[in-house]
C-alpha cells in the first residue's frame, strides 16, 4: 500500500493540520482500500462514499482545530447516528434512522473527525455472529461483537473505530484481527445513544493500530488533550497473570505471553507472578448471569412482540435471563463488588498485569469461537484492559497480549502500555 490509508490517525491529523494532506485525499484512499477489500472482509454495515467525501471536503474548507480534524472514523452499528441508519445488527431495525447522534459521535464531530460509516456488529452486540471476516484469512472469525470495527482498522479501511465491550467484544476481535483494542474503566465514556446489552458492564472503547492513536482518540473523546499526555511511562513491575484458565490456552498463546514477560524482564522490568484469590474464579460465570438477566429486561419488547425477528441465539439469551432469579443476579453483582474492593490491595505489588487476550488464534468460521474466559471477568471488575498485537501464532494468525490496570487509573495505564508496545517492538 502506497496511499494515505496506511497512515495512523496521529500521522494523518498532523499532516492535515500542516497542510501536506487533505481530508478528501485521505478519505479517498481509504475508500479505494475498502472498495478493493470489502467484498471479502465485510466490515461495513452502511457506507455511503459520497457522504463521507462530502464530510471530508467540508473539513478541508474549515480551519483545522479539533484533535482528529479530517480523520475518518468507523462507528459500530449499535451507536446512533442522525445522518446514517443504525440497525443494531438486527433485521428488526434495518434502515432505522435515529433523529440524533450518540454522545460519542457528537464528540467525534466536535473533534473534526469524518464519520466514514457504520461497522458490522453482532445482533444487539450479543452472541449471534455477524458477517465480518478476518482480514488475515477470510475463512476465519473476527471475534464478537465489535467485529466490523476491528476488521476495518486492521485492514486499513480507517485508522480508528469505535467498539464496545460487555464481556469480551473489544479485546477478542482486537486479538484475532491484530490491532490495538482499548476497553477503558467502566464509565469513562458516555453511553448515551448506544443500544444497551447489559448496563452493569457495557463499556465504550475503540480500536487503533498504535498506542499513540488510542491516546489521541481518548483525548478527542474527552475533549482533553492532556489526558494520558506526557509520553510513554516505563513500568517498574509487571504482573504475569496466567489466571485459573491458563491450561485452556493454546501453545501459541502461552508462548506469546511468556515470551513477552521474558522480553520485558530483559528490558529491566521486574516481572512477578500474579494470582487472584479463588473467589475470582467465579466471576466469569457471574458475568454471564448478569448479562443474561439484564439482556432479558432490555429486550423484553423484541422478545414479546417481535420474536420472529430475533435470532435463536438472542432469544435463548433472553430466555436464560428470564430463568435467572433476582437472587442469582444480586449474588453475581455482590461477588463483583467484593472482588472490586480487593483489587487495590491486590495491585499494590505491581503496576500493570499481563495475561492472554484469547485462548487461541482466530478459529475457522464453522468452528466454535471459544468462551472468552480470559476477558469476561475483567469486564465485571470494571478495570481498563487493552490488547497489544503479539506475534503470529502457529496457524499464521495474530496472537494478542492483554494488559490490565487499576480502576480509573487509565492515564498511567495507557502511558505504560505505550512504553510496553515500544519495548516489545524492538
76, 118, 172, 183: which is the annotated catalytic residue?
76
- The percent of the chain in helix, strand and coil, each rounded to the nearest 5, is 45, 15, 40
> How far, in Å, CA of 342 to CA of 339, rounded?
5
Q: Which residues neighbour 305 within 8 Å (Cβ) at sequence distance 6 or greater?
A: none
The DSSP string of 165-182 is ESSSTTHHHHHHHTSEEE
Asked about 266 being catalytic, the answer comes back as no
132, 146, 169, 175: which is the annotated catalytic residue?
169
Radius of gyration in angstroms for the set of CA atoms belonging to the chain, rounded to a whole number: 20
Name the grid cell of 251: 501453545
> How far, in Å, CA of 408 to CA of 382, rounded?
9
* Pick from 27, 133, 116, 29: nearest CA to 75: 116
Across the beta sheet with 237-241, the strand order is: 44-47, 114-119, 72-76, 160-165, 203-208, 180-183, 385-392, 398-404, 352-356, 237-241, 270-274
Bridge partner residues of 162 (DSSP): 206
> How far, in Å, CA of 205 to CA of 148, rounded?
14
Asked about 145 being catalytic, the answer comes back as yes
Write down the H helix ranges in 204-325. Answer: 211-222, 251-266, 283-298, 300-305, 312-322
145, 149, 252, 311: which is the annotated catalytic residue?
145
* Pick from 217, 224, 200: nearest CA to 289: 200
Per-residue HEC secondary structure of 335-386 comes to: HHHHHHHHHHHHHHHCCEEEEECCCCCCCECCCCCCCCCCCHHHHHHCCCEE
> How far, in Å, CA of 120 to CA of 207, rounded?
14
What are the catalytic residues?
A: 76, 145, 169
Amino acid at each position: 500500500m502506497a496511499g494515505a490509508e496506511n497512515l495512523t490517525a496521529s500521522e494523518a491529523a498532523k499532516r492535515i493540520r500542516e497542510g501536506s494532506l487533505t481530508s478528501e485525499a485521505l478519505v479517498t484512499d481509504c475508500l479505494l482500500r475498502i472498495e478493493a477489500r470489502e467484498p471479502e472482509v465485510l466490515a461495513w454495515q452502511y457506507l455511503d462514499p459520497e457522504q463521507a467525501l462530502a464530510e471530508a471536503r467540508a473539513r478541508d474548507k474549515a480551519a483545522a482545530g479539533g484533535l482528529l480534524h479530517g480523520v475518518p472514523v468507523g462507528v459500530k452499528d449499535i451507536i446512533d447516528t442522525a445522518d446514517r441508519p443504525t440497525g443494531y445488527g438486527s433485521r428488526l431495525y434495518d434502515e432505522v434512522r435515529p433523529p440524533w447522534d450518540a454522545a460519542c459521535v457528537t464528540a467525534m464531530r466536535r473533534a473534526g473527525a469524518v464519520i466514514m460509516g457504520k461497522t458490522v456488529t453482532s445482533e444487539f452486540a450479543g452472541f449471534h455472529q455477524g458477517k465480518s471476516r478476518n482480514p488475515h484469512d477470510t475463512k476465519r472469525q473476527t471475534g464478537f461483537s465489535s467485529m466490523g470495527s476491528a476488521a476495518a482498522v486492521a485492514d486499513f479501511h480507517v485508522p480508528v473505530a469505535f467498539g464496545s465491550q460487555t464481556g469480551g467484544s473489544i479485546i477478542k476481535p482486537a486479538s484475532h484481527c491484530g490491532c490495538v483494542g482499548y476497553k477503558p474503566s467502566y464509565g469513562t465514556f458516555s453511553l448515551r445513544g448506544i443500544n444497551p446489552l447489559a448496563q452493569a458492564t457495557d463499556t465504550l472503547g475503540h480500536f487503533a493500530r498504535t498506542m499513540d492513536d488510542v491516546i489521541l482518540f481518548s483525548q478527542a473523546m474527552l475533549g482533553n488533550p492532556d489526558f494520558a499526555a506526557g509520553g510513554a511511562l516505563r513500568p517498574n513491575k509487571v504482573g504475569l497473570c496466567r489466571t485459573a484458565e491458563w491450561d485452556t490456552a493454546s501453545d501459541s498463546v502461552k508462548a506469546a505471553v511468556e515470551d513477552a514477560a521474558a522480553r520485558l524482564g530483559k528490558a529491566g522490568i521486574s516481572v512477578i507472578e500474579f494470582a487472584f484469590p479463588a473467589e475470582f474464579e467465579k466471576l466469569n460465570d457471574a458475568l454471564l448471569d448478569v448479562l443474561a438477566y439484564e439482556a432479558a429486561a432490555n429486550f423484553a419488547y423484541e422478545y414479546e412482540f417481535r420474536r420472529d425477528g430475533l435470532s435463536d441465539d438472542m432469544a435463548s439469551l433472553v430466555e436464560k435471563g428470564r430463568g435467572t432469579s433476582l437472587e442469582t443476579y444480586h449474588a453475581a453483582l455482590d461477588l463483583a463488588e467484593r472482588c472490586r474492593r480487593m483489587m487495590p490491595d491486590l495491585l499494590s505489588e505491581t503496576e500493570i498485569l499481563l495475561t492472554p487476550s484469547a485462548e487461541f488464534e482466530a478459529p475457522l468460521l464453522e468452528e466454535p469461537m471459544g468462551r472468552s474466559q480470559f476477558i469476561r471477568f475483567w469486564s465485571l471488575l470494571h478495570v481498563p484492559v487493552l490488547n497489544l498485537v503479539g506475534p503470529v501464532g502457529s496457524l499464521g494468525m495474530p496472537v494478542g497480549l492483554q494488559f490490565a490496570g487499576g480502576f480509573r487509573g487509565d492515564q498511567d495505564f495507557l502511558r505504560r502500555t505505550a512504553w510496553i508496545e515500544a519495548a516489545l517492538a524492538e
